[in-house]
Amino acid sequence: MTSITLHPGDNRASLRRLIARGVRVHSVVTDPPYGLVSIQKRFGKEGAAPARREKNDGSFARLSGGFMGRKWDGTGIERDPEFWKLIYDILLPGGYVFAFSGSRTGHWQACAMEMAGFVMHPMHGWCFGSGFPKASNAERAIDAHRCVRPGRHYESALPRDPRPDDHVCDSCEEGDYWEGWGYGTQTQKPALEPIYLGQKPFSEKNGAANLLKHGVGAMNIDGCRVNGRNGRHPSNLILDGSPDVVALFPYTKSGSPGVMRKGVNDGACYGAESRAAGTQMTGFGDEGSAARFFHQFPLTDEDYAHAIAAGVIGEDRGAPLIYHGKAGKLDRAGGAHPTVKPIALMQNLIRHITPPGGIVLDPFAGSGTTAEAARREGFDCILMEAETEYVEFLERRFPEINEHNQKMLLSDEQLGDYSFTVCSISKRKGLNSYLSDLIGENVDLSDLM
């Protein structure tokens, strides 16, 4: 029977505590914050006055509230090499981490992971058809900027547009030059979300020795083949299965399985001539959209049901938005997280990098999709979550969590040296309830500031 444990509060404190106790995990599958704020919003414009706020020394001219004003998206933890070093330390040698990121900001995360010591494998991409652009119309912007006459400065296709009638002036003619142009960081239709794959290096002289010692370091290929164990080799492109995405791929035919003849390339590529005669060549003898070469994981009603219950999205779910970089129907419904990840997708990622009997870690648990996926795959899962609303939802979604975690009542607060002493047990949730099992231990809160 699998287990799910939850560590509320700052995941860095939880990671340090577990590492000090010798806890190690076999894989990490997580969806960190994407840091979707501009450089100016994050650091301030040149010459801006420092923002003197609590826990801020003025080093940032402005503090960001994060995407949609959410503080969890503006902390910068996903681009902090020190955070990824903690992930590195809790992984067994050879262990892998799958970490989602934003298509606009993911390079920061990838660099931080590499700086922490991870060997970076080719980026995986989740391709979806439900995203939409949010560009500024260049023609209309110029008209509004240059023309002093109020109203609509363009020819509208909307017959019932409530704004004043169209008009034409010299400024409008300047805008006409830029008809069909747009600008902004969300100008193009979002269709790809990166999933970075990092690996902690082997501690032994080769992969075989590392596998024998630590039981981790290889990928489950046969268990993750497209369309089953005898299907195609898994790739680093993953589709949502939507008609829009499938339509992007051409119609192709695949060759039938054959045997390599010496010195002859029977349609295979990359080094076929060098293979020994008699080698069995791969082939499926099928035809159709080339999308069949890749895994497809559409969002299901169950995925939406859990997201709605967690408050991630509203009842009016609209299209299954995946991209973080805009506010769409889901976002306007008041949800805290603008994304929904299919459980089947998370199952595939977990199965791909976690050995039998392994432990999966998700330091950004959110609504618990990783935990549910791990449970279905037969793996134990360790969750960490800082947001109270999600902690409470996780406890409702996975009742067994309370069997592994005790709620602490903190006293003897020593603010002078930033330490607390945990001295008693209670079911009450306090400010530092994430220090769930540190009875009698002093905790240095400077690590959390």
pLDDT number for residue 74? 57
The amino acid that residue 32 corresponds to is P
Neighbours of 289 (CB within 10 A): 14
In angstroms, the Cα distances linking 170 to 73, 152, 174 are 44, 14, 7
Reading the block at residue 199, the tokens are 């690996």
pLDDT number for residue 178? 84
CB 9 within 8 A of CB 343: no
Identify which of 198, 189, 126 has the alpha carbon closest to the alpha carbon of residue 342: 126
Q: What pTM does this model have?
A: 0.72
The amino acid that residue 354 corresponds to is T
Instruction: Show pLDDT as tens, one digit a residue, over the chain (449 residues).
Output: 789 999 999 999 999 999 999 999 999 999 998 876 544 444 445 555 544 444 444 444 333 444 444 444 457 899 999 999 999 999 999 999 999 998 888 999 999 999 999 999 999 998 887 777 788 888 878 877 877 665 555 554 444 544 455 556 666 677 778 888 889 887 888 888 999 999 999 999 999 999 999 999 999 999 999 988 788 999 999 998 888 888 888 888 877 665 555 555 555 444 444 445 555 555 677 888 888 888 888 888 888 788 788 876 666 554 443 433 333 343 333 333 446 789 999 999 999 999 999 999 999 999 999 999 999 999 999 999 999 989 999 999 998 886 555 443 333 333 333 333 333 333 333 334 334 444 344 444 444 43
DSSP letter string over 252-284?
EE-PPPEEPPTT---S--SSGGGSPTTPEEP--
Q: What domains can you pick out in the chain, each with its CATH number?
A: 1-42+57-133+189-240+297-405 (3.40.50.150), 136-154+163-183 (no CATH), 241-296 (no CATH), 407-449 (no CATH)
Rounded CA Rg of the chain: 26
CA distance 25 to 359: 5
Identify which of 303, 294, 322 has the alpha carbon closest to the alpha carbon of residue 238: 294
pLDDT number for residue 420? 33
Backbone angles phi, psi at 68, to 5 degrees: 60, 25
